[in-house]
Structure 1
Amino acid sequence: MSRRGTAVHRTGTGPVRLTARGVVRRYGGIEAVAGVDLTAPAGRVTALIGPNGAGKSTLFDCLAGTVRPDAGRVVLGGRDVTRVPAHARVRLGLARTFQQIAVFPTLTVADNVRIGAEQRRGRRPDTDAVDAATARALALFGLQGVAAQPAGDQPTGVLRLVELARALAGGPHVLLLDEPAAGLDTAQTARLVSVLRGLADRGTALLLVEHDPDLVRELADRVYVMAGGRVMARGPVAEVLDDPRVARAWGGAAAGTGRP
């Protein structure tokens, strides 16, 4: 699949991409991430796949700043952010979602999304800009009807969309998505695909961990395959997913039909 969009987010040095170079993360004597090189370019959807325990979520934590690598570099838009904390990376234009849904259950859906808009804009955000960003993000995922309701009263699929809307409310240049379709029904998944395609077409760099091979084929431009903490394959989607080695490492999922 080729991308149609031409606009890209830019810093003073060019398109905003996210790059890992030789990233290592150890836990005791085990290398959960063992020298990974990866690039998520602007205007493209990059997928990160592999079996459970491959190191995908640990790599995400290193990229987002919640975990510091033991070696290697993380570069965001030409800036070395390896030692920059997660909250500061948000203000530089990086946002993420989590495999386990993370929302504030006692806050309304709208207030959960508003947090994302406020985080990107710092301590004294422009109220009108925050309101507008929150409203746009709610509309993108069709959440206006539940905006005033407590997040804790919503089903799993809606909460997944709330988390996605919160990440997008800050207008990120780079978006990390950890299993974004988990818990979504068919209609919600279709909306997700449409939104993510639109973001890529407007120049956002997207990197997603996903276990649904059909969704990876439909959405991604390029795939990295991790196993045992290392990248074992990378390249265009069809080429990588049709590789028998990848099917074996991914438990046969690459050749399957992840959705009915």
Structure 2
Amino acid sequence: MNGTRGAARLTARGVVRRYGGIQAVAGVDLAAPPGRVTALIGPNGAGKSTLFDCLAGTARPDAGRVLLGGRDVTRLPVHARVRLGLARTFQQIAVFPTLSVADNVRIGAEQRSRRDNGGGVTRERAAERTARALGLFGLEAVAAEPAGEQPTGVLRLVELARALAGGPRVLLLDEPAAGLDAAQTARLLTVLRGLAGDGMALLLVEHDPDLVAELADIVYAMADGRVVAAGPTATVLSDPRVARAWGGAERGRERGGR
């Protein structure tokens, strides 16, 4: 989508997160560069969700740092990271069911307008961004319908459209293809490739190895809270350590927890 606010790299340096005596993330280094799709993979319980929370600001690391565009955001709350250009979607879809599809997307566009205009909202610009985001995901036909009446696949696209309407520089995607049919998945892949081509940094958690192989430029594989392999997609997916950690039940279209 045109109109992102400049390239930014998202970086984790030595991130540690503990829950009681359990170290869910054990000193992870990760970089999601602009213009690339970076994937985070691994079996259930590997620490992917916890790392995602640390990057997005919903959890604070016990050690290490999170950098956004070179700025240390480790202690910044979610809303402050959003203002700096970080957006996130969730595994469990989060929309406003009583609002229309268009109004759900407009929320993201108006947040962008407030940032760009010192707290004010430019309605025309918000409307333009809303229409553009709806068009990207083919949501025009259901734009006026209540979000709560839409199937899971459409709601997934609504959430993605809302995130993009905010003009992020870095986009965190939590299983973005979950619940999508083949046509919706194909559209999603096209949009995400286009965003990366425009310079956005994308980081996604994904269980489907076929989708990762098709979309990702860089892969980090986690197991037991640590990165066990990182690098170009083909290299990481063929690594025996990854096959052992991510094999079995994970080698299909599992959409369960992590």
TM category, shorter: over 0.9
1:219 counterpart residue number: 215
2:201 counterpart residue number: 205
1:247 counterpart residue number: 243
Contact 2:169–2:201 (Cα < 8 Å) also in 1: yes
Contact 1:91–1:121 (Cα < 8 Å) also in 2: no
Q: Of 44, 50, 66, which aligns to 1:52?
A: 44
Give the drift of 1:253: 6.6
2:227 counterpart residue number: 231
Contact 1:45–1:219 (Cα < 8 Å) also in 2: yes
Contact 1:90–1:120 (Cα < 8 Å) also in 2: no
Give the drift of 1:228: 0.8
Partner secondary structure for residue 26 of structure 1 = strand
1:130 counterpart residue number: 126
1:113 counterpart residue number: 105
Unaligned runs of 5+ in 2: none
Give the drift of 1:192: 0.2
Contact 2:228–2:241 (Cα < 8 Å) also in 1: no
The 4+ residue runs of structure 1 with deviation greater than 6 A are none
Distance in 2 between the 1:168 and 1:9 partners?
Answer: 12
**Residues 1-260 of structure 1 mapped to structure 2, 5 A cutoff:** 10=6, 15-122=7-114, 123-252=119-248
Give the drift of 1:67: 1.1
Partner secondary structure for residue 25 of structure 2 = strand
Distance in 1 between the 2:247 and 2:212 partners?
Answer: 15
Return the letter of the residue paired with 2:98: T
Contact 1:43–1:205 (Cα < 8 Å) also in 2: yes
- Bigger mean CA offset, 64-73 vs 115-124: 115-124
Taking structure 1 as the reference length, the TM-score comes to 0.91
Q: What count of residue pairs does the alignment treat as equivalent?
A: 247
Taking structure 2 as the reference length, the TM-score comes to 0.92
Contact 1:90–1:119 (Cα < 8 Å) also in 2: no
Distance in 2 between the 1:206 and 1:145 partners?
Answer: 27
Return the letter of the residue paired with 2:110: E
Contact 2:60–2:75 (Cα < 8 Å) also in 1: yes
Return the letter of the residue paired with 2:104: N
Distance in 1 between the 2:237 and 2:224 partners?
Answer: 18
Distance in 1 between the 2:253 and 2:159 partners?
Answer: 23
Partner secondary structure for residue 183 of structure 1 = coil
Contact 1:117–1:134 (Cα < 8 Å) also in 2: yes
Distance in 2 between the 1:253 and 1:21 partners?
Answer: 30
Give the drift of 1:176: 0.2
Distance in 2 between the 1:157 and 1:176 partners?
Answer: 18
- Bigger mean CA offset, 127-136 vs 184-193: 127-136
Distance in 2 between the 1:253 and 1:192 partners?
Answer: 25
Distance in 1 between the 2:124 and 2:28 partners?
Answer: 41
Distance in 1 between the 2:162 and 2:68 partners?
Answer: 21
Contact 1:9–1:42 (Cα < 8 Å) also in 2: no
Give the drift of 1:191: 0.1
Return the letter of the residue paired with 1:181: A
Return the letter of the residue paired with 1:16: A
RMSD, aligned α-carbons: 1.5
Contact 2:5–2:85 (Cα < 8 Å) also in 1: no
Deviation per CA, 1:187-222, whole angstroms, max 9, x where unpaired?
Answer: 000000000000000000000000111100000001
Give the drift of 1:9: 5.6
Give the drift of 1:257: 6.3
Contact 1:47–1:224 (Cα < 8 Å) also in 2: yes
Q: Percent identity?
A: 79
